[in-house]
């Protein structure tokens, strides 16, 4: 094999078989293009396989609301056709307000959602406990977002990739003008290349401002009926201004198996691959503050994943909440994913930086990207997510 | 004083704890089970009664009646030694995590405690390899250890028949290894009718094994013959294995095969195990180096992590005597009593022998003994190596992961354990793959999955109170 280089040709090469890469491939597959998806490991083995699969509309900013709401619509459509493959659970989201101050946020949020035709229900103290009797006493109320749901991400990634050529256990070591170089020495030419390598995307596209932001999850044994919604605290708001290196927020998700996923933690620790026991304990303590009965339940496993966090120095952050929210970043930023043409490399498109919302926003991302590649009208305004916004300062 | 924590109170852990304490270390011996003794000695001493009663004549007589005397005598010696040296024995305390220089233990009631150590000895033993076959999920099909445990817990093997008289339970024992003898013997002794013992390895291998025993451990031969006599006249069939269990509300019959033909035997109970696999999960969690599913240790039982030792079946399956010797060496070494002994890892066989002769320390004697016992261990592992046929045991619709109801058909096309977990949930249930993972490592040649804390299901509240108590400790 010495000196012998294989060169293959495809129309589109997508680097990364996570939920984002898979969604992009599925979206482009209708267009009679020769598509290849490459993953260093197996489909969904990255952050996608470590995540919660909460499909949630977020209103941190207008742009985030547009992308998440549009994406949720696409998820509901997908889930309607393949509910069991997706392990679809239409549980809604319940944002919990601890006190009067947080109730004010509930009213603001409700108004914001309703203006965008997102169905919500404001819950007072009493109705909160009617929905979720296992919440701690003394909470003020909450906001129920009816259409939010839960899916099982790795299986969804596999589902999206059905019928598409996928090369697994294949490491890409470089992306240059219309060329993807593999670790085994061979090369692939492609008119379009999509970097959807998640938190590892900057390893292939220098200057891409994405960094890993580690998050832990704990799964419990089976306790069917303990809670009905994905429940997230609003209390995060208070600590948001603090630029903490580590933070936790209460977030619980019912699984169809009767188990519960408990989150969430955020931490800038690079690619550190050990369990941060202290942070996990803090996270569980937070969860038990909100649901004391959790104390009696058994945790059977802990793991973590790396959120692909955008590190932008753009407009100041607005308030964020819960896990699925992008949370505060030490770098501030607009906390939006990076979707679209990368002007510095020929044929390169980016679909990365989805932080803690990539499962939700993958489908919307794919629509935006496909529209750009195929020269079709964009489904929503693509400007807020464009890579070109990152270069503003240089001009 | 050196603080030594020993995890696992089987023969290896007990020997390690004794040696370490006798050398002046402060020793804590932990076991997740309510009684010490590990797989083999746990029931030799009735710990549920206070010590004076335990040592009473009646208690002794009762024990004598139910125990295999040779092993029990040895057990008693070690238990007495343990009583004498003042080891802090903590049972019903399971180690669920190791962080830095402390172990996190979970008590029966669910609370966590952390115990700091200077040296750690891992002696977590082994568990059975259970290979799934069609029908294995029927009631009354179980592991050999399960059958033994039920028996010791008082399972009736000759229940009264409705038509008067007693109906002896018909038992098929299957799988591989000398354990089958032992369990068949104790079942027969308790009154069950042994239909047959189906041993997968060939008659030729068994003959070699018998010769080897005569050479290395003649006493074991006597023990084996004793077992055989106990369940006589049931047949012992080499080159035979259980292909399928059939029944309705419970197992009624089994299909046996020798690879060429198959036949049916009646059975009310099936006890099956294909040998033992080292329980390395805790060591893996701590990051100790492993090879082929065993913990890697050096001449003094040191693992790849400074200050961490390992002894017993966790370093490879080799039987009780080897486990004891390894435990003794680990205990002495951890307590700093093996300093005078050079580390002979880099020496040739000949040089090693010379050194061993010249330095007549206890440790060296033990090391020489360990070498002899390891020969027997190698013979054991060769003689009962599993046939490739057994990889075909499960059918496509045979459930492999019982917690999540995942079938072999769903698993066989997955690339590895991690993919299986991601796409089928195999091994994600409460047992965390403790049963199916070993089976899949054998059936599909998969690497084990990464071990994540907690090692065993742990009460969430315990994490928290533990953090709080840690904080309090830190403040003091
Ligand atoms: C604990 C946690 C909980 C979360 N919960 C939610 C939630 O509830 N809802 C939500 O919407 N989002 C959630 N997220 C966020 C979400 O998981 C991520 O945003 C999303 O998975 C990102 O998908 P991706 O495809 O970009 O990345 P990945 O899934 O990481 O995919 C990238 C793929 O690229 C491959 N790759 C990398 N480098 C190379 C290379 N050089 N060559 C070839 N292949 C390569 C990797 O193997 C990987 O498979 C959570 C994240 C975490 C950590
Ligand atoms: C089910 C079974 C039946 C057996 N029957 C026989 C027999 O009849 N005859 C015979 O000669 N040999 C028998 N053996 C083999 C015999 O047990 C071993 O050869 C010998 O006991 C090995 O000793 P050990 O100390 O290495 O491990 P073990 O005796 O297995 O002891 C390990 C101990 O560690 C404890 N432990 C493990 N993990 C943790 C943790 N995380 N925290 C706290 N404690 C932990 C376990 O509870 C156990 O008590 C049997 C083995 C098994 C598994």
CB-based burial label for A316 (10 Å; 0-12, 13-18, 19+): exposed
Domains of chain B: which residue ranges? 3-127+278-363, 141-274, 394-443
Greatest mean pLDDT range, A30-34, B163-167, B456-460: A30-34
Whether the Cβ atoms of residue B420 and residue B453 lie closer than 8 Å to each other: no
Instruction: Output the CA–CA distances (angstroms, integers) from residue B120 to A140, A297, B9, B302, B309, in the order listed.
Output: 49, 30, 13, 10, 6
Judged by a CB distance cut-off of 8 A, whether residue B451 touches chain A is: no
Task: Catalogue the E-assigned strands of B108-176.
Answer: 112-116, 119-122, 126-128, 141-143, 170-176
Q: Do B461 and A294 touch (CB under 8 A)?
A: yes
Which ranges in B125-266 belong to alpha helices (H)? Answer: 144-152, 179-189, 203-216, 218-231
Say whether both A131 and A176 belong to one domain.
no
Of A266, A289, A305, the position where a domain reaches its end is A305
User: Distance between CA atoms of A322 and A290, rounded to whole angstroms?
Assistant: 13
Q: To test ligand 1's pocket by mutation, which of A14, A16, A246, A254 has the most ligand atoms within 8 angstroms of CB?
A: A16
More confident residue, A255 or B73: A255
pLDDT band at B283 (very low <50, low <70, confident <90, very high): very high
Facing residue for B459 by CB, picked from A257, A298, A302: A298
**C-alpha gyration radius of chain A:** 21
More confident residue, B423 or B469: B423
Res B257: pLDDT = 96
Is the shortest distance between the CB of B325 and ligand 2 below 6 Å?
Answer: no
The model's pLDDT over B375-392, given as tens digits with 9 standing for 90+, comes to 989 999 999 999 999 999
Provide the Cα torsion A382, A383, A387, A392; round to 10°: 180
User: Distance between CA atoms of A21 and A32, rounded to whole angstroms?
Assistant: 18
Is the shortest distance between the CB of B186 and ligand 2 below 6 Å?
Answer: no
- The answer on pLDDT for B471 being more than 70 is no
Res A331: pLDDT = 39
The model's pLDDT over A269-300, given as tens digits with 9 standing for 90+, comes to 999 999 999 999 999 999 999 999 999 999 99
- The answer on pLDDT for B30 being more than 80 is yes
Q: What is the number of the ligand closest to the CA of A57?
A: 1
Copy the structure tokens of residue B302. Answer: 């040191």
A367 domain residue, yes or no = yes
Q: Give backbone dihedrals phi and psi of B87, rounded to 5 degrees, phi first.
A: -90, 140
User: Distance between CA atoms of A386 and B19, rounded to whole angstroms?
Assistant: 68
Q: Shortest CA distance to A207 belongs to which of A344, A99, A76?
A: A344
Instruction: Output the CA–CA distances (angstroms, integers) from residue B350 to B344, B355, B357, B363, in the order listed.
Output: 11, 9, 11, 18
Is the shortest distance between the CB of B458 and ligand 2 below 6 Å?
Answer: no
Share of chain A above pLDDT 90, in %: 80
What do you get for the CA distance between the two ends of chain B, in Å?
A: 22
Mean pLDDT lowest among A73-77, A328-332, B170-174 = A328-332
Res B433: pLDDT = 84
Mean pLDDT of A341-346: 95
pLDDT band at A323 (very low <50, low <70, confident <90, very high): very low
pLDDT band at B367 (very low <50, low <70, confident <90, very high): very high
Helix crossing, B179-189 with B144-152: angle to 10°?
30
Task: Catalogue the E-assigned strands of B77-146.
Answer: 88-91, 93-99, 102-107, 112-116, 119-122, 126-128, 141-143
Mean pLDDT of B435-463: 88
The model's pLDDT over A222-241, given as tens digits with 9 standing for 90+, comes to 899 999 999 999 976 554 44
Q: Do domains B3-127+278-363 and B141-274 have the same CATH topology?
A: yes
Res B425: pLDDT = 86
Q: Do B463 and A287 touch (CB under 8 A)?
A: no
CATH number, residue A295 = 3.30.9.10
User: Distance between CA atoms of B362 and B368, rounded to whole angstroms?
Assistant: 10
pLDDT band at B409 (very low <50, low <70, confident <90, very high): very high
Q: In terms of CA atoms, which chain B residue is nearest residue A262?
A: B460
Which chain B residues are closer than 8 Å to A51 by Cβ? none
Say whether both A176 and A204 belong to one domain.
yes
Whether the Cβ atoms of residue B10 and residue B40 lie closer than 8 Å to each other: yes
Which chain A residues are closer than 8 Å to B107 by Cβ? none
The model's pLDDT over B227-264, given as tens digits with 9 standing for 90+, comes to 777 777 788 999 999 999 999 999 999 999 999 999 99
Say whether both A300 and A225 belong to one domain.
yes
Question: Could you tell me the sign of the dihedral formed by the alpha carbons of B440, B446, B449, B455, in that order?
Answer: positive
Whether the Cβ atoms of residue A229 and residue A92 lie closer than 8 Å to each other: yes
Atom 6 in ligand 1: residue holding the nearest Cα: A52
Atom 27 in ligand 2: residue holding the nearest Cα: B125
Q: Shortest CA distance to A175 belongs to which of A200, A146, A138, A140?
A: A200
Say whether both A226 and A158 belong to one domain.
no
Q: Number of CB pairs < 8 Å for A and B?
A: 83
SS3 track for chain A: CCCCCCEEEEEEEEECCCHHHHHHHHHHHHHCCCEEEECCCCCCCCHHHHCCCEECCCCCCHHHHHHHHHHHHHHHHHHHHCHHHHCCECCCEEEEECCHHHHHHHHHHHHHHHHCCCCEEEECHHHHHHHCCCCCCCCCEEEEECCCEECCHHHHHHHHCCCCEEECCCCEEEEECCEEEECCCCEEEEEEEEECCHHHHHHHCCCCCEEEEEEEEEEECCCCCCCCCEEEECCHHHHHCCCCCEEEEEEEEECCCCCEEEEEEEECCCCCCCCCHHHHHHHHHHHHHHCHHHHHCEEEEEEEEEEEEECCCCCCCCCCCCCCCCCCCCCCCCCCCEEEECCCCCCEEEEECCHHHHHHHHHHHHHHHHHHHHCCCCCCCCHHHCHHHHHHHHC
Mean pLDDT of B26-34: 95
Copy the structure tokens of residue B447. Answer: 């690497």
Q: In terms of CA atoms, which chain A residue is nearest residue B460?
A: A295
A73 domain residue, yes or no = no
Instruction: Output the CA–CA distances (angstroms, integers) from residue A203 to A21, A175, A207, B140, in the order listed.
Output: 16, 10, 9, 55
Provide the Cα torsion A156, A160, A163, A165; round to 10°: -100
Say whether both A231 and A295 belong to one domain.
yes
Say whether both A33 and A124 belong to one domain.
no
User: Distance between CA atoms of B26 and A159, rounded to whole angstroms?
Assistant: 57
Say whether both A370 and A330 belong to one domain.
yes
Q: In terms of CA atoms, which chain A residue is nearest residue B451?
A: A301
Nearest-5° angle of CA A68, CA A55, CA A88? 140
| CATH of region B3-127+278-363, choose from 3.50.50.60, 3.30.2310.20, 3.20.20.60, 3.40.50.2300 | 3.50.50.60
Res B39: pLDDT = 82
Q: Shortest CA distance to B412 belongs to which of B389, B395, B390?
A: B395
pLDDT band at A394 (very low <50, low <70, confident <90, very high): very low
Res B78: pLDDT = 93
Q: Do A280 and B459 touch (CB under 8 A)?
A: no
Whether the Cβ atoms of residue A42 and residue A169 lie closer than 8 Å to each other: yes
Mean pLDDT lowest among B173-177, B184-188, B327-331 = B184-188
What total number of domains does chain A contain? 2
- The answer on pLDDT for B111 being more than 70 is yes
Q: What fold is seen in the domain B141-274?
A: FAD/NAD(P)-binding domain (3.50.50)
Greatest mean pLDDT range, A351-365, B140-154, B350-364: A351-365
Facing residue for B423 by CB, picked from A154, A282, A287: A154
DSSP B91: E
Closest Cα of chain A to B415: distance in Å? 9
Res B223: pLDDT = 75
CATH number, residue A168 = 3.50.50.60
Q: State in Å: Cα B436 to ligand 2 middle.
A: 19
User: Distance between CA atoms of A69 and B224, rounded to whole angstroms?
Assistant: 72
Q: State in Å: Cα A217 to ligand 1 middle.
A: 14
3-class secondary structure, B310: strand
Res B228: pLDDT = 74
Say whether both A272 and A139 belong to one domain.
yes
- The answer on pLDDT for A324 being more than 80 is no
- The answer on pLDDT for B69 being more than 70 is no
Of A275, A305, A335, the position where a domain reaches its end is A305
3-class secondary structure, B248: coil
Tokens 């206890």 appear where?
A: B362
Say whether both A25 and A161 belong to one domain.
yes
Instruction: Output the CA–CA distances (angstroms, integers) from residue A103 to A59, A107, A110, A143, A231, in the order listed.
Output: 16, 6, 10, 9, 16
Mean pLDDT of chain A: 90
More confident residue, A2 or B329: B329
pTM to 2 decimal places: 0.83
Instruction: Output the CA–CA distances (angstroms, integers) from residue A26 to A35, A348, B25, B262, in the order listed.
Output: 10, 18, 64, 50
Say whether both A327 and A251 belong to one domain.
no
Of A259, A288, A305, the position where a domain reaches its end is A305
Res B262: pLDDT = 96
Cis peptide before B127 (omega within 30 of 0): no
Tokens 């990076």 appear where?
A: A338
Res B339: pLDDT = 63
Whether the Cβ atoms of residue A141 and residue A128 lie closer than 8 Å to each other: yes
User: Distance between CA atoms of A276 and B312, rounded to whole angstroms?
Assistant: 31
Mean pLDDT of B42-69: 51
Say whether both A243 and A344 belong to one domain.
no
Q: State in Å: Cα A366 to ligand 2 middle.
A: 54
Cis peptide before B11 (omega within 30 of 0): no
Greatest mean pLDDT range, A363-372, B63-72, B425-434, B442-451: A363-372
Contacts of B339 (CB under 8 A, 6+ apart): none
Chain A interface mutation, best of B422, B425, B458, B474, highest count of A Cβ atoms under 10 Å: B422
pLDDT band at B108 (very low <50, low <70, confident <90, very high): confident
Q: Shortest CA distance to A8 belongs to which of A170, A190, A137, A184?
A: A190
User: Distance between CA atoms of B237 and A49, rounded to whole angstroms?
Assistant: 47
SS3 track for A158-175: HHHCCCCEEECCCCEEEE
Q: Do A284 and B97 touch (CB under 8 A)?
A: no
Whether the Cβ atoms of residue A20 and residue A365 lie closer than 8 Å to each other: yes
Res B67: pLDDT = 45
A321 domain residue, yes or no = yes
Instruction: Output the CA–CA distances (angstroms, integers) from residue B140 to A336, B196, B431, in the order listed.
Output: 58, 16, 20
Q: Residues, chain A, total?
A: 395
A44 domain residue, yes or no = yes
The model's pLDDT over B123-151, given as tens digits with 9 standing for 90+, comes to 999 999 999 999 999 999 999 988 887 88
SS3 track for B18-76: HHHHHCCCEEEEEECCCCCCHHHHCCCCCCCCCHHHHCCHHHHHHHHHHCCHHHHHHHH
A69 domain residue, yes or no = no
Whether the Cβ atoms of residue A142 and residue A94 lie closer than 8 Å to each other: yes
Whether the Cβ atoms of residue A113 and residue A250 lie closer than 8 Å to each other: no
- The answer on pLDDT for A96 being more than 50 is yes
User: Distance between CA atoms of B349 and B321, rounded to whole angstroms?
Assistant: 23
Whether the Cβ atoms of residue B326 and residue B312 lie closer than 8 Å to each other: yes
Closest Cα of chain B to A308: distance in Å? 20
Res A347: pLDDT = 97
Owning domain of residue A175? 7-49+154-209+312-394
Cis peptide before A264 (omega within 30 of 0): yes
Res A238: pLDDT = 56
Say whether both A274 and A189 belong to one domain.
no
- The answer on pLDDT for B476 being more than 70 is no
Instruction: Output the CA–CA distances (angstroms, integers) from residue B5 to B18, B281, B323, B331, B391, in the order listed.
Output: 12, 17, 17, 10, 39
pLDDT band at A109 (very low <50, low <70, confident <90, very high): very high
Which chain B residues are closer than 8 Å to A296 by Cβ? 459-461
Res A302: pLDDT = 92
The Cβ of residue B49 has, within 10 Å, a number of other Cβ atoms equal to 12
Which chain A residues are closer than 8 Å to B97 by Cβ? 277
């Amino acid at each position: 094999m010495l000196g012998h280089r294989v060169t293959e040709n495809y129309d589109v090469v997508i680097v990364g078989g996570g939920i984002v890469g898979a969604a992009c491939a599925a979206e482009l597959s209708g267009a009679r293009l020769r598509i290849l998806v490459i993953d260093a490991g197996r489909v969904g083995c990255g952050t996608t396989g470590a995540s919660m699969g909460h499909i949630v509309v977020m209103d941190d900013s207008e742009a985030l609301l547009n992308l998440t709401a549009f994406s949720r619509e696409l998820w509901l459509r997908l889930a309607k056709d393949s509910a069991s493959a997706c392990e679809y659970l239409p549980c809604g989201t319940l944002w919990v307000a601890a006190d009067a101050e947080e109730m004010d946020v509930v009213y603001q949020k409700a108004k914001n959602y309703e203006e965008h035709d997102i169905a919500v229900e404001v819950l007072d103290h009493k109705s909160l406990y009617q929905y979720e009797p296992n919440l701690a006493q003394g909470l003020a109320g909450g906001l129920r977002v009816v259409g939010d749901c839960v899916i099982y991400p790795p299986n969804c990634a596999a589902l999206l990739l059905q019928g598409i050529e996928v090369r697994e256990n294949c490491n890409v070591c470089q992306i240059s003008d219309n060329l993807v170089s593999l670790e085994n020495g061979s090369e692939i030419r492609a008119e379009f290349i999509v970097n959807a390598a998640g938190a590892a995307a900057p390893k292939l596209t220098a200057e891409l401002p994405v960094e890993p932001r580690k998050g832990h999850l704990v799964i419990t044994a089976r306790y069917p009926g303990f809670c009905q919604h994905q429940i997230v605290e609003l209390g995060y708001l208070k600590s948001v201004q603090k630029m903490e290196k580590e933070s936790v927020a209460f977030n619980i998700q019912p699984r169809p198996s009767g188990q519960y996923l408990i989150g969430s933690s955020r931490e800038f620790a690079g690619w550190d691959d050990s369990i941060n026991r202290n942070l996990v304990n803090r996270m569980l303590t937070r969860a038990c503050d909100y649901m004391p009965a959790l104390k009696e339940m058994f945790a059977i496993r802990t793991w973590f994943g790396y959120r692909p966090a955008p590190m932008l120095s753009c407009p100041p952050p607005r308030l964020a909440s819960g896990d699925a929210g992008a949370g505060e970043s030490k770098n501030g930023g607009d906390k939006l994913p990076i979707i679209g043409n990368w002007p510095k490399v020929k044929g390169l498109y980016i679909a990365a930086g989805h932080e803690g919302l990539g499962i939700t926003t993958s489908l919307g991302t794919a629509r935006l990207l496909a529209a750009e590649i195929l020269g079709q009208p964009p489904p929503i305004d693509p400007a807020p997510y464009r890579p070109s916004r990152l270069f503003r300062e240089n001009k | 004083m050196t603080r030594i924590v020993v995890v696992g109170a089987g023969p290896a852990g007990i020997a390690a704890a004794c040696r370490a304490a006798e050398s002046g270390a402060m020793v804590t011996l932990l076991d997740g089970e309510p009684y010490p003794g590990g797989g083999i000695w746990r029931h030799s001493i009735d710990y549920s009664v206070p010590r004076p009663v335990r040592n009473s004549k009646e208690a002794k007589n009762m024990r004598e009646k139910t125990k295999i005397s040779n092993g029990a005598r040895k057990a008693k010696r070690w238990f007495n030694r343990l009583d004498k040296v003042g080891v802090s024995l903590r049972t019903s305390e399971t180690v669920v995590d190791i962080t830095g220089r402390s172990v996190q233990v979970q008590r029966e009631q669910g609370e966590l405690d952390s115990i700091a150590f200077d040296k750690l000895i891992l002696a977590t033993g082994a568990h059975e390899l259970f290979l799934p076959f069609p029908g294995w999920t029927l009631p009354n099909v179980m592991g050999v250890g399960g059958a033994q445990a039920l028996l010791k817990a008082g399972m009736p093997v000759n229940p009264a028949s409705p038509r008067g008289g007693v109906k002896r339970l018909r038992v098929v024992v299957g799988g591989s290894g000398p354990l089958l003898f032992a369990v068949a013997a104790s079942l027969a002794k308790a009154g069950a009718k042994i239909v047959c013992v189906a041993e997968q390895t060939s008659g030729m291998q068994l003959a070699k094994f018998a010769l080897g025993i005569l050479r290395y451990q003649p006493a074991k031969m006597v023990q084996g013959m004793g077992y055989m006599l106990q369940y006589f006249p049931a047949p012992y069939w080499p080159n035979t294995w259980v292909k399928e269990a059939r029944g309705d509300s419970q197992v009624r019959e089994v299909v046996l095969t020798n690879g060429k033909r198959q036949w049916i035997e009646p059975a009310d109970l099936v006890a099956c195990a294909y040998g033992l696999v080292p329980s390395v999960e805790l060591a893996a969690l701590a990051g100790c180096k492993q090879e082929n599913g065993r913990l890697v240790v050096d001449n003094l039982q040191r693992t790849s992590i400074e200050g961490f030792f390992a002894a017993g079946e966790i370093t490879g399956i080799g039987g009780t005597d080897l486990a004891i010797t390894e435990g003794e060496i680990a205990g002495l070494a951890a307590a700093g009593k093996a300093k005078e002994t050079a580390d002979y890892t880099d020496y040739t066989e000949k040089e090693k022998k010379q050194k061993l002769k010249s330095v007549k320390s206890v440790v060296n004697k033990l090391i020489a003994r360990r070498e002899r016992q390891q020969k027997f261990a190698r013979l054991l592992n060769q003689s009962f190596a599993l046939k490739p046929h057994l990889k075909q045991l499960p059918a496509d619709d045979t459930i492999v992961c019982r917690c999540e109801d995942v079938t072999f058909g769903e698993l066989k096309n997955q690339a590895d354990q991690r993919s299986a977990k991601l796409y089928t949930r195999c091994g994600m249930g409460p047992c965390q793959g403790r049963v199916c993972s070993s089976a899949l490592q054998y059936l599909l040649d998969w690497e084990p999955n990464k071990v994540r804390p907690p090692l065993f299901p742990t009460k969430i509240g315990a994490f928290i109170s533990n953090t709080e108590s840690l904080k309090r400790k830190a403040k003091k």
